[in-house]
Amino acid sequence: LIMKMRPKDLRKRLMVKFKNEEGLDYGGVAREWLYLLSHEMLNPYYGLFQYTRDDIYTLQINHDSSVNPEHLSYFHFVGRIIGLAVFHGHYIDGGFTLP
């Protein structure tokens, strides 16, 4: 769904509802969703990112991510999610190294 949205629609208020959960989204549910999603998509286990040599808190792009033929579309998705978080002022669960 996120990948099919037009850029102008991505700037609209983010409304999230968790399945089988009650609650109105006044920003907290969207914040939690972005945090949980970022935690999962930045996990080095999936091969897109890896920890830097210096510590296990800083991420960098995994140079071997191309072993997955779909890696570029995954990076595009990650970029959209990070862009959403930045635009809407939410945190993600991960930090990146400087180039």
Q: What is the pTM of this model?
A: 0.84
61 CB-near residues (< 8 Å, 6+ apart): 48, 49, 50, 75
8 Å CB contact between 32 and 17: no
Per-residue pLDDT reduced to its tens digit, 8-61: 988 888 888 888 877 666 778 888 999 999 999 999 999 999 999 888 889 999
28-41: pLDDT as tens digits: 888 899 999 999 99
Q: How far apart are the C-alpha atoms of 57 and 47, rounded to whole Å?
A: 16
